[in-house]
Amino acid sequence: MWKSCVTVIRVIIIISCPFFYLQAQDTKAFFIIDQQPINAGDTFILNLHVTGVIDTPSEIDFSPWGKWLFQEDILSKSGWEKKGNQWVQRIAAIAFDSLDVVLPSLEIIGPNKQIIQTSPIQLNVVPMVLKPETVLEAPREIRKELFSWSDGLIVLLVFATLGGVIWFLLHRRKKIPMEVVHEHLRPIVPSIEEETMIRLHALAEQNLWEKGEIKTFYIELSQIIKGYLERKYEIPALESTTQEIEVLLRGVQMEEGFIQQYKVALSEADLAKYAQVINSTRDYRQLLNDVGRTIFPTLNKELL
């Protein structure tokens, strides 16, 4: 009988040890960003870690970040996953404006309605830099030679030409209308179609499908298409479903073929985002080209 009681007490102590260990820890919550700085328009991952909590944490209040990140910029959230003595949640977000701020603390509702404060986090978003499409010619070999009379003659001719140009400009300056000078200084503003193609190029260069991030690819593609349709045709595409967008596009007299192309891309995105249905044989670069040709129907070549 005595041995049985001792055995029961040992089992209770072994089971209770993890509980008391977690209770002894301080409750902490903090974010880790997968990359810094972040290019504007790129998706980034916020890894939220919570320690010192036994049961699964509950909701997160993102309203303190509303000045810098809108609610629709929070693209998706994974479920809570237990790793060691921590609870971890992955949050996918996107930022379109340049930022360099310290985001304030958020509140997490823990077990038994416990309020857990996250630590502030530095967020650095830089403007998107496009890679040049043209290949620069390799620099030619520079040969070092001794200075000769021919070099002096060339230098003299250069200075003489430069002096003639300066003299001509000084004497012709009064005849040049001021409006013509300012005409060349006007900035070139890209069209809605050009901005959309820039975002499609940036998405193609990420090669998310090769990294297994198919859902993230479709989330960004859906945002690009809906943002283009909303700005181009002045319809509430960003807050509408695929079926609602189809009706809205018919209302603006869009050709049926174009409507069906947008519907195919958005329907695939809906299946990937909400039903986790992925087409393993899909050519994603061809999908981007089809969307691009819908925006620029007069171009027949591959756009991406």
For residue 239, pLDDT over 90 is answered with: yes
130: pLDDT strictly greater than 80: no
- Structural domain boundaries in the chain: 23-126, 158-183, 192-295
**Between residues 14 and 171, the one the model is more confident about:** 171
Going by pLDDT thresholds of 50, 70 and 90, the confidence category of residue 294 is: confident
Look at residue 113 in the predicted model and tell me its pLDDT.
Answer: 74
- Report which listed range, 82-91, 124-133, 280-289, is most confident: 280-289
Rounded average pLDDT over 89-102: 83
Task: For the full predicted model, state whether its pTM sits above 0.85.
Answer: no
What's the pLDDT at 66?
83
Mean local confidence (pLDDT), 267-295: 87
Domain 23-126 architecture: Sandwich (2.60)
- The mean pLDDT of the chain is 79
Most confident region among 48-57, 184-193, 250-259 by mean pLDDT: 250-259
Determine the Cα–Cα distance for residues 47 and 33; give it in Å rounded to an integer. 6
At 137-186, the pLDDT tens digits run 554 444 444 456 677 778 888 889 988 889 888 877 655 555 554 555 56
pLDDT over 70 percentage in the chain: 77
